[in-house]
A and B are shown apart, each in its own frame.
Chain A
Amino acid sequence: MIRIAEPGPQTTVQDLGRFGQLRHGIPPSGPMDVRAFVIANRLVGNADGAAGLECTLMGPRFGVEAPCAIAVTGADVPVTVNGEAAPTHATLVLRSGDAVRIGAARAGVRAYVAFSGGIDVPPALGSRATYLRGRLGGLEGRSLKREDVLRLHRAPVPASRALPAAHATALDAEPEIRVVLGPDLERFTAEGVAAFLAGPYEMLPQSDRMGARLRGPRITHTRGHDIISDGIALGSIQVPGDGQPIVLLVDRQSTGGYTKLATVCSFDIGRIGQVKPGQRVHFRAIEVAEAHRLRRSWEASLAEAAGGPVAA
């Protein structure tokens, strides 16, 4: 059992997500950085989809009330156990009475904490992922608050291991994000598309799990910015009238009425999720076939880091 002393600004319970509900207007939710989430679970001997915590910019402080193991991955955060520095990307075996503190991110935005056994909250529509706007899943559909108690599923405490440094989350200062252009490409001028691909774009502070709002060179339209509303894919880049892109993410609205210039490839969603406000990104357009090839190598690299094929 885990007792939250300080929750951090936005700490939520997540699993790999709630699928099949977009047709009812309910997004999948789940971790922004799937890779870091899965690795954390593997380090504590869990299945990939066991529920853990996603922390935003600053982690929680919590007390351990029964022996368990945890692993912290994703953003570069300081971790202490009873005041002593502890490694990230490694199994930390804890005893009853231990006090854990996960500090402010030095790089990246989202850190993940996996607990051996996984967090035991009731699934909603088949998933434990928190959808904050819909007050669904996780712990009462909300982010954690002080004095919350997290129960863990019973599990053996795993052996300690550390992830080789090469497999840790890459937190680039100015990442290049791969996109496939379309579906509304003909609604943008050639200059607009060139401006988008030249960049760079700065992450704005009002970005969240629903969408990443960016500011940079203006992307011009050929004839207006409205379309007849249609479905929004994970990573869809909407461009409203102000010519500034919004990347739609795991808690996105299911449909929308702004033109969509491109879609961020699934394997780069996690990297977008680690870009801090003020940090800049570049976009590079690739073809569908190359995106599929890169997706396969992303899966292979994750399987290698995780020590076996991945369900995600």
Chain B
Amino acid sequence: MEVNTRVRALEYLIQQKAVPGIVESVPSFRSLLVYYDPARLGYETLCETLGDLAEQAGTGVLPPSRIVELPCCYDPDLGLDLVAAAQRLALSVDELVRLHAGAEYLVYFVGFTPGLPYMAGVPERIRLPRLETPRVKVPPGSAGLGGAQFCIYSVESPGGYWLLGRTPARLYDPTAAEPTLLRAGDRVRLRPIDRAEYDAIAARVEAHAWQPVIA
């Protein structure tokens, strides 16, 4: 977690400094990919600049996290692996839901597909290796567990995580001015909801009349 914090701190320092010639950057678990324009910035100069900034990229650099509350419905019809995951962990479904929804998750980075958050903070007791056979199609909004990582699928895509529930929130909406909801460094809290509330929020999301609580 400390390495990832430093990755995000380095990206933040690069943005603050607005280094000419750096085009964009992609944070991930333990690395930062930096795109640059070699016509404006030489490779050696870039390495020197990044080296200097990396030394300053400590844990105190980053601004406070946003806290995003996402409703999540743990209904076996939506959390397609909920029952199987509970069995595999030798927990009751209720206990698994309590442990999963009770944790706070840190967004390490957003990637793979648009707006998909890779999150840390999965309690030890509910960690599972990825599915033997990945699903060809995972519905968007699915809350997935894979090892020490938690993710929420942002678009329909293949996926190998255990699906515990689903949020009616849209993590990616190409028609919105800001299409992606979560950012690296956000803290995510889950609010368990029943199926009726899931359907009600989903209808409001569809009508563009619902936003999650962000503090």
Contact = CB atoms under 8 A, between A and B. Distances in A.
Contacts of A135: 174
A284 interface: no
Which of A124, A134, A232, A234 counts the most B-chain CB atoms under 10 A from its CB? A134
Classify chain B's interface size.
20 to 34
B116 interface: yes
Interface stretch (B24-32, B75-83, B85-93): B24-32
B188 interface: no
A126 to B, nearest CB: 11
A61 B30 CA distance: 49
Contact of B172 (A23, A134, A256, A292): A134
A26 B114 contact: yes
B112 A254 contact: yes
B112 A25 contact: yes
Contacts of B155: 133-134
Contacts of B25: 22-23
Contact of B26 (A141, A254, A288, A296): A254
Which of A25, A26, A255, A256 counts the most B-chain CB atoms under 10 A from its CB? A25
B43 interface: yes
B111 A254 contact: yes
B29 A230 contact: yes
Interface in B105-143: 109-116, 118
A236 B23 CA distance: 17
B113 A25 contact: yes
Contacts of A136: 114, 174, 179
A295 B38 contact: yes
A91 to B, nearest CB: 29
Nearest to A295: B38
Contacts of B214: none
A233 B35 contact: yes
B184 interface: yes
Given A230-B28, A231-B28, A23 B110 contact: yes
A255 B43 contact: no
A212 B26 CA distance: 22
B184 A23 contact: yes
A24 interface: yes
B39 interface: yes
A253 B39 CA distance: 26
Contacts of A6: none
B144 to A, nearest CB: 14
B33 interface: yes
Contact of B174 (A20, A22, A124): A124
A255 B24 contact: no
Interface string A24-67: 11100000000000000000000000000000000000000000
Interface string B141-173: 000000000000011000000000000000010
Contacts of A253: 111-113
Contacts of A229: 28-29, 111-112, 118
Given A141-B174, A292-B38, A295-B38, A25 B29 contact: no
Contacts of B114: 24-26, 134, 136
B118 A231 contact: no
Interface string A105-145: 00000000000000000001100000001111000010000
Given A24-B110, A136-B179, A228 B174 contact: no
Interface of B: 11, 23-33, 35, 38-39, 43, 109-116, 118, 154-155, 172, 174, 179-180, 183-184
27 contacts: A20-B23, A20-B24, A22-B35, A22-B111, A23-B25, A23-B26, A23-B111, A24-B179, A25-B115, A25-B116, A26-B114, A134-B174, A229-B29, A230-B30, A231-B28, A231-B31, A231-B32, A231-B111, A253-B111, A253-B112, A255-B28, A255-B109, A255-B111, A288-B43, A289-B43, A292-B38, A299-B39
Which 6 pairs, one residue from A and one from B, show the smallest C-beta to C-beta distance? A231-B33, A231-B26, A255-B111, A254-B111, A230-B28, A136-B174
Given A24-B180, A289-B43, 10 more contacts: A22-B111, A25-B154, A25-B172, A133-B113, A134-B113, A136-B114, A229-B118, A231-B27, A233-B35, A253-B111
